[in-house]
Structure 1
C-alpha cells in the first residue's frame, strides 16, 4: 500500500528537525520513503489530504479490555482493534478480562493470532495466578515467551503478600513485569464509590482512599525487599502519587498509570446515580484530580490509560449498587486529554510507555516503518452515541465536550483512515 500525506503538521517532540513542521510524507509498502516540503503523488498512491491534518508517532494504551473469549457480547477482538485504530492507537495492552482468563501460553497465542492482520497491535497480559484466583502463580515464563508483556490478575488485589514477593523474585529471571491492583479488598469492603461527602449524601457505600494507599504502601515495601519490576495500574488519590514519588526517589523500579476518566471527572458526577460513572478505582475528589494531573506533569505518574472496559447493557442498566464497574475510553482519550495538557504534552503522554513493556518505540524518519496516528487537534464536539464505535455503549463521556479527534492510523502496512 502506497500513501501520500499532504501538508501534515508533525507533532514529534523528540525530533527537533521535524517537530511542528508541515511536511508531505510518502509511505511505500509500510515504510516511510520520503519526508519533504512538497512531494508529487506517484501512480497507484492513496492521497490523504485532510482538514487540519496533524501526524505523530502511533499512540499506545497500556490498559484495554475487549471481552473475547467468553464475553463477545461486550466486544470482540476484531471490532475492539477497529475501535482502537479509529481512535488513534497503533498499540494496545489487553487486560486479561476474559473467560477463561489467559493463564497459559496457549491462551496468549490465541489472543495474538486473533489480532493478526490489523493496523493496531495487540499485546496481551497474562494472569499472575492460575485462573486469577490469587493462590498459585500461573505459567509466567511460558506466557512471556508466547508474547505476554506483563502479568495481572485483572482488578483484583494480591491479598497474599508472600505471593507478590515470590512473583517479583521469580519474574526477575526473565525481566518480567508484575502488575498489582491498588485496592485492599478488606478496607474496601462493600464500598462502590469514593468515601466522602458525596457518598454520604447519596447514601452509597464508600471506598476510602486508604484502601488504595495501604495496598500501594505494602507493595512498595515488598518491592524494596525483593527488587524486580512492579507496575501499579490506575492510581486515583493524591497520597498515592506521594507514595510512588518517594519510592522512585529511593530508586525502586516501579511505574504507575492513571485512567483518563480520573483526570476529567470527580465523584460529583454521581449525583444522578448514572452507572456509567461506576468504575474501579472510583472517581475521587477535585483535590485528587489536581494531584494526578501534577503527577503526570512532573513524571511521577508514568503514563495515562483509557482503562477502556466495555460492559453490555445488562451489566449497566441495573441498580447502581449492582452495576458492573467500567467505562469506555478509547474513543474519547485524545479529545479529553487535549484540553487539559495541550497538544504537545498530550501527544507525549499518548506515545510513551512502550519501553516499560519491553516494546520498541517507533521512529518517525525516512527508512523506518510507518507507525503513525493522524488527527485534528482543534475539532470541538460533544461526544454522542453516534460517536461510539464499540459494541457496548457504557461511556461516562456521553454529552461531554471534547477538543480534538483522531482520523485513524497507518501501521503494519495498513490504514484505518
Structure 2
C-alpha cells in the first residue's frame, strides 16, 4: 500500500519538521519523502484527515488482553485492533492469561499469535512461577523468546530476596524487572484509598503507606544490586518524591502512572460504582496533582492506559467483591488531552519504548514508517458506543474528552478508526 498523507502536523522534537505541516510519502512501508505541496503520484492513495497530526508510534506499557484463557474478556486479535484504532503501534502484554506467561513456550505463543498484526505485541514474562511470589520463573529463556521485561501484574513481592536475586540475575542479559509496589499486609482488606471518602462510605481503606513503604524497600534493593527496575502505576505524592530522589542518586529506575490516576480522584466513588475500582486505588486531589507534577518534571517516565478488560460477572458486583481494573485504549488520549500539553502526552506515550528495549522509529526519510495519526482538537463525551473492546468496564463512561486518535501506520499496515 503506497500512500501520501497530506498536510500533517508532525510532532517529533527530533524532526526538522517538528510542529510544522508537511506531506509524507510512504512507498513499500518506507518514508520516501517529507515535504510541502507534494503532487499526486500514480498508484498512491492520498489520505486527507481533518487537523491531522502525526507522531512517533505510541507505546502502552501495561495491557492485559484475555488470551490465552480469558477470550471472553478479550482476544489478542480484537484487543490489538482496538489498540491500533486508538493510536498504539506497540503494547506490552502483561502475563495475566491462563496459563500465566512464565515459560519460553508461553512467550513464543504470544509472539506468534501477534506476528502479523498492525500493533506489535511485546510480552512481559512473569517474574515468579504462577506469579505467586515464591520461585523465580525462567527469565533468560523467556528473554530469548521475546519477553521485554519481567513482573507479576499487580502483585507485590513480599519476599525481598527474590527481587534481589532477580535484579542481579537479569544484569547478565540487560533485563528489566518490574516491581508492582503495594505492601499486602498494610493493604489488608482495603478496597479504596484510606481517607475521608472511605470513612464516609464505610469502605475499608488502603493507606498511601502501603505503596510508599514497598517502593522504599525496592529502591534500597536496587541500590544494593544495581540493574534496571521499573515501578508501574504509582499513585501517591510520596512515591513520586522517592523515585525523584532515587533518580538523583543515579539509580536506574523508571516508573509509570495510569491515565485514570491523573484524571479521577476518590470523590467519584460516592455511588459505589465498581467501574472505578482499580489497583492501586484512586487517591485524593492532592495526590493526583503531585502525579501530574511528576509527569511534567520528568520523574514519571511513562503514562499507561493500564488496559484491563474484565467480564461483567467479575466487575458488576458489590464494590468489595468486584475485581480491580478498567479498560483504557479508547479513552487514553482524549482524557490526557484535557489536562496535559500535547508534546508531553506524545513524550510519555513514546518514551517507554527505550525503557523496554524497543526501537523508537523517527519520522524521517528513508526509515520504516511507524507512526500514530490523531486530531488533538474537538470536545466530546465518551459513551458506550465508543468502546470497541469486548469488555465494557470503562471508568471513563460519561467523561468529557478532547481530541481523538485516527489510527496508525505500522508494519506496512494502515489502520484507520472510522
1: CA distance between counterparts of 2:342 and 2:249? Answer: 32
Residues 247-270 of structure 1 show CA distances to partners (whole Å, capped at 9, x for unaligned) of 111111111100010000000010
CA contact (8 A) 1:260 1:306 kept: yes
Determine helix, strand or coil for the equivalent of 2:126.
coil
- The 2-side partners of 1:182 and 1:254 are apart by 13
SS of the residue aligned with 1:410?
strand
Inter-partner Cα distance in structure 2 for 1:25 and 1:181: 41
Counting only pairs closer than 5 Å after superposition, residues 367-382 of structure 1 correspond to structure 2 as 367-382=366-381
Query: Equivalents in 1 of 2:287, 2:171: separation in Å?
Result: 33
Equivalent in the alignment of 1:91: 90
- Per the alignment, residue 48 of structure 2 pairs with 49
How far apart are 1:41 and its partner, in Å? Answer: 2.4
Deviation (angstroms), 1:44: 2.4
Per-residue deviation, residues 85-106 of structure 1 (Å, max 9, x unmatched): 0010001111111111000011
Residue number in structure 2 paired with 1:28:
27
Aligned residue in 1 for 2:133? 134
Offset, 1:39: 1.5
CA displacement at 1:46 relative to structure 2: 2.0
Q: Quote how far apart the aligned CAs of 1:36 are.
A: 1.0
Distance in 2 between residues matched to 1:368 and 1:53, nearest whole Å = 21
CA offsets 1:234-256 (integer angstroms, 9 cap, x no match): 00000001111111111111111
Provide the residue aligned with 1:198 in structure 2.
197
Match of 2:233, SS state, is coil
Aligned counterpart, 1:8: 8
**Equivalence for 2:171:** 172
Shift of 1:47: 1.6
Q: Which residue of 1 aligns with 2:342?
A: 343
Name the residue aligned to 1:354. 353
Aligned partners of 2:64, 2:28: CA distance in 1, in Å? 31
Confirm or deny: 8 A CA contact 1:65 1:94 kept in the other structure: yes
Q: Is the 8 A contact 1:61 1:93 kept in 2?
A: yes
| 2:79 counterpart residue number | 80
Aligned residue in 1 for 2:400: 401
Secondary structure of the 2:338 match is helix
Alpha-carbon distance in 2 for matches of 1:46, 1:274: 47
Deviations 1:136-184 (CA, angstroms, capped at 9, x unpaired): 1111001001100000111111110111111111111111111111100
**How far apart are the structure 2 equivalents of 1:230 and 1:129?**
16
Partners of 1:241 and 1:253 lie apart in 2 by 15
1:229 aligns with 2:228: yes
Give the 3-state SS of the residue equivalent to 1:99 in structure 2. coil
Say if 1:2 and 1:44, in contact at 8 Å, map to a contact too. yes
Counterpart position of 2:293 = 294
Distance (Å, rounded) in 1 between the aligned partners of 2:305 and 2:114: 19
Q: CA RMSD in A?
A: 0.8
**Cα deviation, residue 40, structure 1:** 2.0
Aligned-pair distance for 1:43? Answer: 2.3
| Corresponding residue of 2:272 | 273
Partner of 1:334: 333
Residues 18-68 of structure 1: CA deviation (Å, up to 9, x unaligned): 011111111011100111101222222222111111111111111111110
CA distance in 2, matches of 1:214, 1:196: 18
* Deviation at residue 14 of structure 1 after TM alignment: 2.3
Preserved CA contact (<8 Å) 1:63 1:306: yes
Distance in 1 between the 2:37 and 2:368 partners?
21
1:410 aligned residue:
409
- Secondary structure of the 1:322 match is coil
Q: Which runs of 5+ in 2 are unaligned?
A: none
Cα distance in 1 for partners of 2:113, 2:268 equals 37
Distance in 1 between residues matched to 2:266 and 2:30, nearest whole Å: 46
Between 266-275 and 331-340, report the one with greater CA deviation. 331-340
Gaps of 5+ in 1: none
Residue 217 of structure 2: aligned partner: 218
TM-score by length of 2: 0.98
Contact 1:128-1:138 at 8 Å conserved across structures: yes
Q: SS of the residue aligned with 1:392?
A: coil
Corresponding residue of 1:321? 320
| SS across alignment from 1:107 | helix
State how far apart, in whole Å, the 2-side matches of 1:196 and 1:233 are. 23
Q: How many Å separate the matches in 2 of 1:321 and 1:49?
A: 49
- TM-score, normalised on structure 1? 0.99
Q: Give per-residue Cα distances to partners, 1:98-124, cap 9 Å, x unaligned.
A: 111000011000001111111111000
Cα deviation per residue 1:179-233 (whole Å; 9 max; x = unaligned)? 1111000000000110000000000110110000010011111111111111100
CA contact (8 A) 1:13 1:348 kept: no
